Structure 1
Amino acid sequence: MRNFSICFISFFFLFFFMLLNFFFMIYFIMNNYIILLEWEIISFNSMNIVMSILLDWMSLLFLMFVSLISSSVIYYSKSYMSSELNLNRFIILVLMFVFSMILLIISPNMISIFLGWDGLGLVSYCLIIFYQNIKSYNAGMLTALSNRIGDVMILMLISWMMNYGSWNYIFYLDFMKNDYSMMMVGMLCILAAMTKSAQIPFSSWLPAAMAAPTPVSALVHSSTLVTAGVYLLIRFNNLLLDMFFLKLLLLLSSLTMFMAGICANYEFDLKKIIALSTLSQLGLMMSILSMGLSDLAFFHLLTHAMFKALLFMCAGVVIHMMNDNQDIRLMGGLSIYIPMTSLCLNISNLALCGIPFLAGFYSKDMILEVLSMSNLNMLIFFIYYVSMGLTMYYTFRLLMYLMINDYNIMSTYNLYDEDFVMLKSMFLLLMMSLFSGSLLSWMIFSYPYMIYLPINMKLMIIYVTILGLIMGYLVSNMSIYSLNKFLMTYNLSMFMTMMWFMPSLSTYGFNYNFLKFSQNLLKNIDMGWSELYQSQGIYNIVKNYSVIFYIYQMNNFKIYLFSFILWMMIFIFMLLLLY
């Protein structure tokens, strides 16, 4: 009962916090308010330690979404993790995770941002290794070490900002744009955001983080860990606008979006498909940010958070029902057995595709139309529209495998749709997946974007969507071997499946030489020379001497007589030498 009480207390606290943030956010938007609070913790001689809090419509709106999703996830965990012995520990870790994100959101100060940033990294490690097996340990270590690069960048950023006498970045956004030190700060900020938001070449940790429990995945991949980098860049966006490094970010994030879309089509693990779709959407947000459209990126960040959390929750229910099985080839016909969960899954999937008039449509459609109006080159334009088609492609493939194909796993089944705790938490997010797009578009944009395009450019999104849908239908009705013959060779498909060999490069390729070197050190030094001359060598010498002393201490007359004769011979020999 104690486990349930901590779930309910956490849920009600976060839900109340969400409502509070919602009313404050409405008031702040209506009156164009910004509040900067500074609390001087300690003043010693000339040193002041100050805690700053920035409250504006953006931080309050993001806080509202984070607390809404985390309250739903905690309520969902009450049922999903009910058989877990350490449920209290799990809930406390999730609350620490949410608190770290809140600290990051409301901080205008780089020191407190770093506390939240590092808190996210450390608590995410604890949550990923929660099930305590080899797979989760490896995934946790990969995540922690990848994020550690970003932490180092933030530390370097803090040291560069010492040139200005304050770590409150908000003071420098408007008038320090072309300063050399601020350019270094911007570059370090972009690198930190790339590690946290898993852009190429740091992408391999994000699918590996699926080793965590599904409620954690719903929280991490919607509104907390992976969005921290995007949020940091949204806050720093004014500083970064004219930087060359931002153009490089545009290329890398577009490639991330493209790569994740292709890999999701070759994946059969349900959670990894959704993780790769998150990676694709993160690439979309980062590339929009690198064009300077921070409001659009923030809009997509919030709409994406809703349907992605819902998608993970539905995946968790399906995995539970399928006897902890995550392979989509062994699923099918779920809409007959679990209609409510299937409804949530389908709506969240369609929102991800940008089907009118769900949440994802408002942000994705606006992003692609603004892109069509911009003066970017053909490569970025091509990657964007192909990635949009690939989103439809893997989504429809997933729906075919889960909903339309026949039930594949076993003759006896245990599918039921009566877990009302999970369903209630999912329905809350379902409503937001339906309405949050239109509500946010009215709230965030005080004036409408003027988009003027020829009819074919306007319909381009519909063309690629329909093409992706047809491809998804065709592929899900073929076997994987005939697909390889149909689309590409086996080697190329392996390249696509393995995330362009990024896990091999960042994990095995990077670790192998160090592990090999440490194995040689262990064999030659620890178990070789140091054994011979230190532990084993000293042990053998002491043992041999102790055996000799033991023989002497046996009080045998023969030994005394022999030693007397030996000493007499030595004495006579020495006398002969002297004379």
Structure 2
Amino acid sequence: MSLSICLVSFYFLMSWSLFLFFMFLKFILMDIVIFIEWELLTLNSGSIVMTFLFDWMSLLFMSFVLFISSLVIYYSMGYMYGDYNMNRFIILVLLFVLSMMLLIISPNLISILLGWDGLGLVSYCLVIYYQNEKSYNAGMMTALSNRIGDVALLMAIAWMLNFGSWNYIFYLDVMSNSFEMQLICLLVVLAAITKSAQIPFSSWLPAAMAAPTPVSALVHSSTLVTAGIYLLIRFNVLMEGTIVSVILLLLGCLTMFMAGVGANFEFDLKKIIALSTLSQLGLMMSILSMGMPMLAYFHLLTHALFKALLFMCAGSVIHNMGNCQDIRFMGGIVNQLPLTLGCMNIANLALCGTPFLAGFYSKDLILEMVSLSYLNILIYFLYFVSTGLTVCYSFRLVYYSMTGMFNFKSLNSVFDEEWSMIKGMLGLLFLAIFGGSMLSWLIFPSPSVIVLPLNLKIMTLFVSVIGMWLGYEMSKFKLVWNLYSYKFYSLSTFLGSMWFMPILSTKFVSKLFLILGLKIIKSIDQGWSEMFGGQGIYLFIKNNSMINQYFQMNNLKIFLLSFIVWLIILVIVMI
């Protein structure tokens, strides 16, 4: 039954993906935008309207999300085979895709919130899918971190009541300089950096790797974490030339650098790829804050292709190694898993920005535009060093998976066995190779020539080669590198634990905010407000009605007695 649901979902999503892609081609060639409004409720002068915006950007993103989702579901047929709750898993993935669709086509903050909260809720359900203590802790961290952004979005909705409509798309150009729109911009940026896991909300993304690997391939590489980036691409007019864009640029670059350094200290395969996602999100966020939304959108799409493929390959390796995720056990598995490792290394090379793969077209363009821009030395340094670190941890991964001897078990059965998983990977492999060039021709039809001095022009290549060499050397001399790590133990602990962000996000926040929140609920919500609110009024009316009922239900003597008392009182008052 579950396999048939997988196949039906795969064909349904794939057909819709192809349809939306052809619609995108028509919309971008003919420059069409369709705006649909559906009025749900009108109360006095305020109306609640469901709005949908179909332009080339939303159609292309929807097509990509549906394409990756369909292949992830097909891949899950092999990966989740034998799971008792397979139907529940597929339904959760489909709900997630529905929430993402709603978010993509909404130019209205109310319908954005529906999709936004849907993403948060379903991702929580998917993170705790395996139902153990680690999953529950990771799910709670994910939910609480994203909740801050949800509250910011709710506040933006409340503030937009000043304008009479929640369709922010009408007000972007008109009121971009007003104080109200700046405040809304600040709230939307706060929502975006929680969803896209920028500093100081970065700790939930590696923790969310407790979810099944197909979920990581879909949710934590191409859809959920890019929702914040997509929202800011739509809101990019508000950020131009403001202090918000400067802060966002610094946060994005620091996130990129922090994740790149952290990935070089990590030995958990899925966490390395998660930190790599975090690094690329920082790159997208920083280039977006520099006023280049189209480049951020371009990198968002190309990154989704090779990162989903990388997660799928990692899932296949973990599956074959009896659920072991430590890369130190993975020596020489290229001999047993040639097809999977081939796909994985192509995705790794695309991530590094190897010429003519998907990542090259977006990453190289971004770094050349950074070289062309008017930036200070800190931001320039963070951009290029982070690029070198990306190549460094990618080649470290290549070294650990391809060279040496197999370190896991002496008796092992490791081979490319599950064809549904391999077909899912091969479907994305084609786009990880050709997707970048195809997208660059479609999105940027007229080529832009970036003229730079030779030293700046080859800077990207230079840091990549240095990163590649460093990654290989550090992996080769593991013993020396480990001894150096122990020599500078405090620094290694700081750099390898995401700058203590997980500790700050859990112990500090739980001790301060959650306990404070509990006390406030006990004293105010369940205390004084109950006493002076509903519960107090209820007790007062109940006690008085019981006295009244006592008189009504009793015999004639009490009635006469009360009548005489009332008569005496009346006579005294009259006198």
Deviates more, 1:157-166 or 1:507-516: 507-516
Deviation at 1:487, TM superposition (A): 9.7
Partner of 1:212: 211
Instruction: Report the CA distance shift for 1:346/1:450 in structure 2 as closer, same or farther (over 3 A).
Output: same
Partner of 1:411: 410
Partner of 1:262: 261
* 2:71 paired with 1:72: yes
Partner of 1:318: 317
Q: Is the 8 A contact 1:329 1:401 kept in 2?
A: yes
Letter in 2 for 1:318: V
Q: Is the 8 A contact 2:47 2:165 kept in 1?
A: no
Letter in 1 for 2:220: H
Letter in 2 for 1:284: L
Q: Is the 8 A contact 2:485 2:492 kept in 1?
A: no
Letter in 1 for 2:373: S
* 2:221 paired with 1:222: yes
Partner of 2:553: none
Tell me the secondary structure at the aligned position of residue 434 of structure 2. Answer: helix
Partner of 1:52: 51
Which consecutive residues of structure 2, in runs of 5 or more, have no partner in the other structure? 521-575
Tell me the secondary structure at the aligned position of residue 355 of structure 1. Answer: coil
Deviation at 1:248, TM superposition (A): 0.6
Match runs of 1:255-404 below 5 Å: 255-404=254-403
Instruction: Report the CA distance shift for 1:480/1:211 in structure 2 as closer, same or farther (over 3 A).
Output: farther
Letter in 1 for 2:322: N
Deviates more, 1:43-52 or 1:169-178: 43-52
Q: Is the 8 A contact 1:52 1:109 kept in 2?
A: yes
Tell me the secondary structure at the aligned position of residue 224 of structure 2. Answer: coil
Tell me the secondary structure at the aligned position of residue 40 of structure 1. Answer: strand
- What is the alpha-carbon distance in structure 1 between the residues aligned to residue 220 and residue 519 of structure 2? 40
- What is the alpha-carbon distance in structure 2 between the residues aligned to residue 214 and residue 513 of structure 1? 33
Deviates more, 1:206-215 or 1:442-451: 442-451
Instruction: Report the CA distance shift for 1:474/1:288 in structure 2 as closer, same or farther (over 3 A).
Output: same
Tell me the secondary structure at the aligned position of residue 50 of structure 2. Answer: strand
Letter in 2 for 1:256: T
Tell me the secondary structure at the aligned position of residue 267 of structure 2. Answer: coil
Match runs of 1:108-507 below 5 Å: 108-479=107-478, 482-485=481-484, 489-507=488-506
Tell me the secondary structure at the aligned position of residue 9 of structure 1. Answer: helix
Letter in 2 for 1:28: F
Larger radius of gyration: 1
Letter in 2 for 1:225: L
- What is the alpha-carbon distance in structure 1 between the residues aligned to residue 145 and residue 259 of structure 2? 18
Deviation at 1:480, TM superposition (A): 5.3
Deviates more, 1:432-441 or 1:44-53: 44-53
Deviation at 1:83, TM superposition (A): 1.4
- What is the alpha-carbon distance in structure 2 between the residues aligned to residue 289 and residue 324 of structure 1? 38
Q: Is the 8 A contact 2:68 2:305 kept in 1?
A: yes
Q: Is the 8 A contact 2:257 2:382 kept in 1?
A: yes
Which deviations, in whole Å up to 9, do the C-alpha atoms of 1:152-179 show, x marking residues without a partner?
0000111111111111111112221101
Letter in 2 for 1:78: M
Instruction: Report the CA distance shift for 1:480/1:509 in structure 2 as closer, same or farther (over 3 A).
Output: farther
Which consecutive residues of structure 1, in runs of 5 or more, have no partner in the other structure? 522-579
Deviation at 1:126, TM superposition (A): 0.3
Letter in 2 for 1:329: R
Deviation at 1:516, TM superposition (A): 7.7
Q: TM-score, normalised by structure 2?
A: 0.88
- What is the alpha-carbon distance in structure 1 between the residues aligned to residue 165 and residue 479 of structure 2? 57
Q: Is the 8 A contact 1:221 1:308 kept in 2?
A: no
Partner of 1:81: 80
Deviation at 1:224, TM superposition (A): 1.1
Tell me the secondary structure at the aligned position of residue 337 of structure 1. Answer: coil
Which deviations, in whole Å up to 9, do the C-alpha atoms of 1:280-322 show, x marking residues without a partner?
0000000000001000000000000000000000000000000
Instruction: Report the CA distance shift for 1:469/1:286 in structure 2 as closer, same or farther (over 3 A).
Output: same
Letter in 1 for 2:226: T
Which deviations, in whole Å up to 9, do the C-alpha atoms of 1:102-160 show, x marking residues without a partner?
00000010000000000000000000000000000000000000000000000011111
Letter in 1 for 2:3: F
Partner of 2:569: none
Which deviations, in whole Å up to 9, do the C-alpha atoms of 1:494-553 show, x marking residues without a partner?
0011100000111112213567889999xxxxxxxxxxxxxxxxxxxxxxxxxxxxxxxx
Which deviations, in whole Å up to 9, do the C-alpha atoms of 1:20-55 show, x marking residues without a partner?
101100000110000001112344555533211000
- What is the alpha-carbon distance in structure 2 between the residues aligned to residue 137 and residue 340 of structure 1? 34
- What is the alpha-carbon distance in structure 1 between the residues aligned to residue 364 and residue 517 of structure 2? 52
- What is the alpha-carbon distance in structure 2 between the residues aligned to residue 199 and residue 520 of structure 1? 30
Q: Is the 8 A contact 1:127 1:212 kept in 2?
A: yes
Q: Is the 8 A contact 1:484 1:490 kept in 2?
A: no
Q: Is the 8 A contact 1:310 1:348 kept in 2?
A: yes
Deviation at 1:486, TM superposition (A): 7.1
Q: Is the 8 A contact 2:253 2:379 kept in 1?
A: yes
Q: Is the 8 A contact 2:46 2:165 kept in 1?
A: no
Instruction: Report the CA distance shift for 1:360/1:488 in structure 2 as closer, same or farther (over 3 A).
Output: farther
Letter in 2 for 1:469: M
Partner of 1:564: none
Deviation at 1:240, TM superposition (A): 1.2
Partner of 2:105: 106
Tell me the secondary structure at the aligned position of residue 40 of structure 2. Answer: strand
Q: CA RMSD in A?
A: 1.7
Letter in 2 for 1:269: D
Deviates more, 1:477-486 or 1:180-189: 477-486
Question: How many equivalent pairs are there?
Answer: 520
Q: Is the 8 A contact 1:475 1:483 kept in 2?
A: no
Instruction: Report the CA distance shift for 1:288/1:520 in structure 2 as closer, same or farther (over 3 A).
Output: closer
Deviates more, 1:477-486 or 1:459-468: 477-486
Tell me the secondary structure at the aligned position of residue 38 of structure 1. Answer: strand
Instruction: Report the CA distance shift for 1:252/1:47 in structure 2 as closer, same or farther (over 3 A).
Output: closer
Partner of 2:560: none
- What is the alpha-carbon distance in structure 2 between the residues aligned to residue 438 and residue 57 of structure 1? 18
Q: Is the 8 A contact 1:310 1:430 kept in 2?
A: yes
Tell me the secondary structure at the aligned position of residue 221 of structure 2. Answer: coil
Instruction: Report the CA distance shift for 1:380/1:518 in structure 2 as closer, same or farther (over 3 A).
Output: closer
Match runs of 1:487-566 below 5 Å: 489-513=488-512
Instruction: Report the CA distance shift for 1:343/1:485 in structure 2 as closer, same or farther (over 3 A).
Output: same
Instruction: Report the CA distance shift for 1:411/1:166 in structure 2 as closer, same or farther (over 3 A).
Output: same
Letter in 2 for 1:353: C
Which deviations, in whole Å up to 9, do the C-alpha atoms of 1:346-374 show, x marking residues without a partner?
00000000001100000000000000000
